[in-house]
Each structure stands twice: as structure tokens, then as C-alpha cells.
Amino acid sequence: MNTPLIDPFARAITYLRVSVTDRCDFRCVYCMSENMNFLPKAELLTLEELDRMCSTFIGLGVQKLRITGGEPLVRKGIMTFFDGMARHLTSGALQELTLTTNGSQLRKFAADLAACGVKRINVSLDTLDDAKFAKITRWGRLSQVLDGIAAAKEVGIHVKINAVALKGFNEDELFTLTDWCAREGHDLTFIEVMPMGDLGNEDRLDQYWSLKELRARLRDRFTVTDLPDRTGGPARYVRLKETGQRIGFITPLTHNFCESCNRVRLTCTGELYMCLGQEDMADLRAPLRASPENHLLETAIRTAISRKPKGHDFDYSRQKAGGQMTRHMSHTGG
């Protein structure tokens, strides 16, 4: 059981994204419905079960752990989980513990996160306009997020801004976001919107802004140099000569990143999705709860990894949202 996790396409699985809750204090239009039906709390893995699950994956070779949601910092008692994971950083078994957040709770938790060994975080932020921010998040306040980002900086946590590229929404803020990140010292990654969730209410095809076009617009203003950087994620990076900053692009539609995929995603109920863009999943909650020993769980994990597909089927090229996933992004954890 000590051999590493290798999928059918010879990719080592070293990165686990864990959703600790499906709840969030925002309702971003590309992630959730405004009136979400959340899971009964009894169905969620307890914090102790999440610790055991993640520790098992780490024992099988996972080196990077990203905590997601929903909004992970709204989970009651979540810092006890981060405290527990910190022991794997201390032992050297885990190389990085990080999270993706909307930033709303960072003023409250930034210092505690830093104390647990969190050195960098991703903050989802698609606009710097108050009115547009309220519209896209439905419930969010931009000032609260900006204050949270400032709190993270104050305790030495490096912030990367994730901005979903949305046609007709933040196209006019390309340079505003870029300049602000340069001034604040934040990395910036743009993400193509993916065909997931309730497409009856939100038309992903109308929202889709190709990052090929976005990159071309950056080249109109900046000297753009491709970088060989790889951070264990799907982003491809460039350097802007004039500002010195690094810009990332996550392009599941125009250029997918499946050939180097090293990750799987665990939901807050113990479902393991081997691919963000496929419906196949494995129930790990049942073997976790079936025995206090980890043999059944380890076997279930290895069986699931043996089913990891070569890639997703996301496609907008035929003027429809091909490869559409009916589950919301918040269910899988991004």
C-alpha cells in the first residue's frame, strides 16, 4: 500500500482538492444558484473524518492539499482541521497546505492560517467595481473582501487572484485588474468559465470569453513572454515586462490541461471525483466508516484512481456547451 497513486495514463496523483463544505456566504452566478438546497449537515464528513481521509491520501503520496468549498472558512470549527493538517507539513509528508477562498472571512482567520503553515492562498475576485461585484456574487461586499486580502498580506500570506473571464462583464476591467495586482504584489490568473451548474438560469456560452482573445489584448499593451513555470496546477504563465508580474491562464476550453493532470477532488460528503469534467465518482465515505482501520479506504482510493479518465469533454466550439456538467461547481469544490 506504500506505492504511489498512478492513474491509467501514468500520471502520478499528488494533489488533492478537498471541499469541506457546500455552503458559502456568496452566491456567485457561475458557481451556485441563488436559492441553493444545501446538504443536511449529517451527510457531511466530520472534521475528524476529513482529517483521517486527507491523512490517508497523504500517506499514499499526496503532497499538495488545497481546501475549498463552498467557502471553506464558513465551516464551523474549520481551524481545528487546519491545525491537524499542519502536522503533515511539520513531518515533511505534505509539501503545501493551501486554500481557495472568496476572501470574506480572511480578516478573522488570516493569522491562524499563517500559524498553521499556510503560505499562499487563492482568492476568487472577478471585478473591482462595487456594483458589479454585488451583482456577480449576489450577496457579497467588495470592501469586506479587499480588507480580507489586506489581512492576509499583513501576516505574510502570498495572495493569488483568480478571475473568471466573463464576456460582457469584466472585459473592460482587464487592465484595471492587471494594474491593481501589479501594485499590490498579487499574482493573477484568468480562468475560462466552464459549462457546469444550472445552465437554464446562466447561459455559459454567452458568458464565455476565450483567453486567446484576452492574451491578445494583453499583448496590445504589454511585452508578454511565455514562462516555463509549473506550479502543479493547470495554469500556464506569462511575464509582463513592463510590470514584472506573472499572469496565469487556465484554459479548459481553448487548450485543456488534461495531459498533465495530477489531481483528484474530494467532496464534503466523501465523493471522489477523478475529473472535474466527468460525472464518474467513487464513494469513499462508506469504506471510511466501515472500519476504523484504513485498509478498505486505501483500496477504495486505489480503485478510484484506476478509473481516472484521460480528460474532460468541455467544448464550446460547436456553439453549444458541450460536455456540460449538471452539478454546480460548489459541489465538487472547483
Q: What pLDDT, on the 0 to 100 scale, is given for residue 202?
A: 47
| 61 in any annotated domain | yes
Is residue 66 annotated as involved in ligand binding? yes
Bridge partner residues of 272 (DSSP): 266, 282
Is residue 265 annotated as involved in ligand binding? yes
Three-state DSSP at 24 gives coil
Dihedral over Cα of 190, 196, 200, 206: its sign: positive
Is residue 160 annotated as involved in ligand binding? yes
Share of residues in the chain with pLDDT > 90 (%): 71
Nearest-10 Cα torsion for 101, 332, 207, 235 = 70
| 6 in any annotated domain | no
| 240 in any annotated domain | yes
Is residue 28 annotated as involved in ligand binding? yes
Is residue 194 annotated as involved in ligand binding? yes
Cell triple for 74: 464558513
Q: Which domain holds residue 44?
A: 15-332
Is residue 17 annotated as involved in ligand binding? yes
Nearest-10 Cα torsion for 146, 147, 151, 153 = 30
Is residue 258 annotated as involved in ligand binding? yes
| 148 in any annotated domain | yes
Report pLDDT digits (tens) over 315-328: 444 444 444 445 45
pLDDT exceeds 60 at position 123? yes
- Taking alpha carbons only, the member of 17, 129, 11 closest to residue 64 is 17
Which of 204 and 121 is assigned the larger pLDDT? 121
Is residue 239 annotated as involved in ligand binding? no
Average pLDDT taken over every residue of the chain: 88
- Taking alpha carbons only, the member of 54, 47, 67, 52 closest to residue 94 is 54
Cell triple for 260: 498533465
pLDDT exceeds 70 at position 262? yes
| 10 in any annotated domain | no
Dihedral over Cα of 11, 16, 17, 19: its sign: positive
CATH at residue 319: 3.20.20.70
- Taking alpha carbons only, the member of 61, 43, 114 closest to residue 269 is 43
Three-state DSSP at 123 gives strand
Report pLDDT digits (tens) over 179-202: 999 999 999 999 988 664 444 444
Mean pLDDT for 132-136 is 94
Q: Three-state secondary structure along 210-278?
A: CHHHHHHHHHHHCCEEECCCCCCCCCEEEEECCCCCEEEEECCCCCCCHHHCCEEEECCCCEEECCCCC
How far apart CA 218 and CA 239 sit, in angstroms, is 11
Is residue 275 annotated as involved in ligand binding? yes
State how far Cα 160 lies from the chain centre.
12
| 1 in any annotated domain | no
pLDDT band with cut points at 50, 70 and 90 for residue 142: very high
| 185 in any annotated domain | yes
Bridge partner residues of 226 (DSSP): 238
Report pLDDT digits (tens) over 230-243: 665 678 899 999 99
- Taking alpha carbons only, the member of 22, 56, 27, 24 closest to residue 41 is 22
How far apart CA 98 and CA 96 sit, in angstroms, is 6
How many domains does one find in the chain? Answer: 1
Q: Among 33-37, 69-73, 210-214, 291-295, where is mean pLDDT lowest?
A: 33-37
Is residue 31 annotated as involved in ligand binding? yes
| 5 in any annotated domain | no
- Taking alpha carbons only, the member of 95, 84, 96, 165 closest to residue 127 is 165
